């Protein structure tokens, strides 16, 4: 089969399209013919091996998993003898960070618990754009941020892979949502349901006197003390990403700030799991959430897709389309 392979950490130049052996499913595994995958900034970080601590997960000197890629959607081609939840022909999607990556390939073999049935109303490309980014947003808002109907929720970085889901998921919980993005993304943010938009090139939301019950920081940077000031007295700040300084402040200062006063501040790390994939499937099938896809690239152009994502200005998701019988 064709796959994107890398054997040493580095820029997207280390990614090569190669012919490798097609996997065979073990007893508990499902062999999937991948139709589409998605590139996240996390994939770029894993392939670079930077910042260094990522290597404690991905391999100290060289990558443990030679085929990168987390988010994918495809069709089940074969199942192991102990598989009970899937059968050949099923359309599935999943986040492969729980089982050794491998989404940038024609096939992958994964434990059945890593995947769920694909939302019936989505194309493979749309479904591949969901598994990690949507679940980060879901867990940040629901589990860490304790979102409630009627709350004022602000999403910083609302136009990216995580932010476009966060806006829609927050709306589905009945929140009043403010999306923070740049000028060119204001209309898109409104179109996915934001009640209010703030153009960060014109206005600093931490300085305008407004207070929010929940702030999800998906991108950008503000000092943690500014985020804290923009919260209501019992408010929650959840950092999912953004600038390195934002991440480290959330990790180190968040727990200390939470001890003094009634505001709760901190980061979250996504915990991929099947229940949340199914939760997202239901929201997607109900039409409450729609993936926003910016660009599509063929498998052979994964390095170009990485370069684009690395620039940090994607509007929603960047998808890889895998050829089927010579056709895209
Ligand atoms: N915690 C976890 O477990 C977890 C899991 C997955 C991802 N993440 C992290 O979550 C973060 C977001 O991921 P993503 O996939 O959404 O990234 P992304 O798609 O690459 O984000 C790009 C978007 O961010 C916007 N942006 C850039 N600078 C901004 C600023 N100063 N203020 C507001 N928006 C800004 C860009 O729009 P403009 O350029 O037009 O502003 C663009 O639409 C990343 O740091 C990622 O590493 C964390």
How many Cα atoms occupy the beta-carbon half-sphere of 316 within 13 Å?
Answer: 23
Name which residue sits closest to atom 39 of ligand 1, judged by CA: 313
Q: What is the pLDDT of residue 56?
A: 94
Mean pLDDT, residues 142-148: 98
Name which residue sits closest to atom 28 of ligand 1, judged by CA: 220
Name which residue sits closest to atom 18 of ligand 1, judged by CA: 160
User: CB of 174 within 8 A of CB of 150?
Assistant: yes
Q: How far is the CA of 134 from the centre of ligand 1 (A)?
A: 13
323 pLDDT band, cuts 50/70/90, is: confident
Q: Check pocket membership of 306 for ligand 1, CB cut-off 6 A.
A: no
Name which residue sits closest to atom 8 of ligand 1, judged by CA: 241
pLDDT in tens, 82-101: 999 999 999 999 999 999 99
Cis peptide before 74 (omega within 30 of 0): no
Q: Check pocket membership of 314 for ligand 1, CB cut-off 6 A.
A: yes
Nearest to 10 by CA among 68, 91, 56: 68
Q: What is the pLDDT of residue 325?
A: 72
Q: How far is the CA of 217 from the centre of ligand 1 (A)?
A: 9
Q: How far is the CA of 161 from the centre of ligand 1 (A)?
A: 7
What residue spans of 142-297 are helical by DSSP H? 161-172, 186-191, 224-229, 244-252, 254-259, 274-285
Q: Indicate the length of the chain as a whole number.
A: 328
Angle ∠(182,178,123) on CA atoms, nearest 5: 75
What's the token pair of residue 318?
């960047």
pLDDT in tens, 38-88: 999 999 999 999 999 999 999 999 999 999 999 999 999 999 999 999 999
Name which residue sits closest to atom 15 of ligand 1, judged by CA: 161
**Maximum CA extent, the chain:** 61
Q: Check pocket membership of 271 for ligand 1, CB cut-off 6 A.
A: no
Q: Check pocket membership of 131 for ligand 1, CB cut-off 6 A.
A: no
- The Cα–Cα gap between 151 and 212 comes to 8
Q: How far is the CA of 117 from the centre of ligand 1 (A)?
A: 27
pLDDT in tens, 246-275: 999 999 999 999 998 899 999 999 999 999
Q: Is pLDDT of 291 > 80?
A: yes
How many Cα atoms occupy the beta-carbon half-sphere of 208 within 13 Å?
Answer: 10
Q: Check pocket membership of 164 for ligand 1, CB cut-off 6 A.
A: no
Q: How far is the CA of 240 from the centre of ligand 1 (A)?
A: 9
Q: What are phi and psi of 154, to 5 degrees?
A: -115, 135
Name which residue sits closest to atom 23 of ligand 1, judged by CA: 160
User: CB of 36 within 8 A of CB of 128?
Assistant: yes
User: CB of 263 within 8 A of CB of 228?
Assistant: yes
């Amino acid at each position: 089969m064709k796959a994107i392979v890398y054997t040493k950490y580095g820029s997207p130049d280390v990614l090569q399209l190669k012919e490798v052996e097609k996997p065979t499913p073990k007893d508990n595994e499902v062999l999937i013919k991948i139709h589409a995958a998605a590139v996240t900034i996390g994939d770029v970080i894993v392939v670079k091996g930077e910042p260094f601590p990522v290597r404690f997960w991905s391999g100290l000197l060289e990558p443990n998993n030679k085929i990168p890629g987390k988010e994918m959607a495809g069709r089940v081609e074969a199942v192991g003898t102990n598989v009970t939840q899937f059968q050949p022909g099923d359309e599935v999607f999943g986040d492969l960070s729980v089982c050794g990556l491998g989404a940038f390939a024609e096939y992958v073999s994964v434990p059945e618990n890593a995947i769920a049935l694909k939302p019936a109303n989505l194309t493979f490309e749309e479904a591949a754009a969901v598994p990690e980014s949507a679940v980060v947003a879901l867990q940040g808002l629901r589990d860490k941020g304790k979102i409630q109907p009627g709350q004022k929720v602000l999403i910083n970085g609302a136009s990216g892979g995580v932010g476009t889901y966060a806006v829609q998921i927050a709306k589905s919980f009945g929140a009043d949502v403010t999306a923070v993005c740049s000028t060119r993304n204001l209309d898109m943010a409104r179109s996915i349901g934001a009640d209010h938009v703030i153009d960060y090139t014109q206005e600093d939301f931490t300085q305008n006197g407004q207070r929010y019950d929940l702030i999800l920081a998906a991108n950008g940077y503000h000092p943690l003390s500014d985020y804290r000031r923009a919260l209501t007295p019992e408010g929650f700040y959840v950092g999912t990403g953004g600038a390195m300084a934002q991440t480290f402040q959330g990790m180190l200062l968040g727990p200390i700030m939470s001890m003094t006063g009634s505001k709760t501040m901190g980061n979250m790390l996504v915990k991929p799991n099947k229940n949340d994939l199914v939760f997202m499937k239901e929201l997607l099938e109900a039409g409450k959430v729609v993936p926003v896809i910016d660009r599509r690239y063929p498998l052979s152009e994964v390095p170009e897709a990485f370069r684009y994502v690395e620039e940090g200005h994607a509007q929603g998701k960047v998808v890889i389309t895998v050829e089927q019988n010579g056709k895209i």
